[in-house]
Amino acid sequence: MEIIKISKRPELLDTAAQWFHEKWHIPLEAYRESMYEALSGSAVPEWYIAVENNDIIGGLGVIENDFHNRKDLHPNVCAVYVEEAFRCRGIAGMLLNYSCEDMFTKGIDTLYLLTDHTGFYERYGWEFLCMVLGDGEYEMSRMYIHSYKEK
């Protein structure tokens, strides 16, 4: 398995955008637009995919805000997904660690993550921070924080 940054492999942009769109049902153009912005060289956004045998088996993004009311909590890890057949192999953890390390090299040592999961992200050094309201939602979701410390 290999983790690839879309900004370093722009030829995979359309394939990656389609894959994320199929997993999260966010408009395809929104993923394309964010991934094209990643090509500009700015720290955020950035997109990462895990690839095995030329197939995308997992991925995540780092964007400014993952559609919630706490605009002060940024940037956000978003769209974390691992194909069902590849779960329980630590791929999500590898993607999370890789993205945190990469952001640290760009001067960003704190990331946030919005989720309804409890107990999953704690395995990878994330800590529950507070409850926030997602855009267009009526129930609060969990916001996690991860501060990267160089090893």
Mean pLDDT of the residues in the chain: 96
The per-residue pLDDT for 149 is 74
The per-residue pLDDT for 15 is 98
The per-residue pLDDT for 50 is 98
Distance of alpha carbon 75 from alpha carbon 121, whole angstroms: 17
Distance of alpha carbon 10 from alpha carbon 118, whole angstroms: 34
Residue 50: closest CA among 102, 2, 103, 98: 2
CB neighbour list of residue 76: distance below 8 Å, 6 or more residues apart: 62, 63, 64, 65, 66, 68, 111, 112, 113, 114
Number of domains into which the chain is organized:
1
pLDDT digits (tens, 9 = 90+) for 27-47: 999 999 999 999 999 999 999
CB neighbour list of residue 60: distance below 8 Å, 6 or more residues apart: 47, 48, 77, 78, 79, 80, 81, 95, 96, 99
Residue 143: closest CA among 60, 80, 64, 70: 70
The per-residue pLDDT for 27 is 97
pLDDT digits (tens, 9 = 90+) for 82-128: 999 999 999 999 999 999 999 999 999 999 999 999 999 999 999 99
Contact 133, 68 (CB under 8 A): yes
Please give the backbone phi and psi of residue 54, each rounded to the nearest 5 degrees, phi first.
Answer: 65, 10
**pLDDT at 150 exceeding the cut of 70:** no
**Averaged over 1-9, what is the pLDDT?**
97
Please tell me the number of Cα atoms within 13 Å of 28 on its side-chain side: 7
Q: Which domain holds residue 15?
A: 2-147
Binned at pLDDT 50, 70 and 90, residue 151 comes out as low
The per-residue pLDDT for 22 is 98
Q: What is the CATH number of the domain that holds 38?
A: 3.40.630.30
Q: How far apart are the first and last CA of the chain?
A: 23
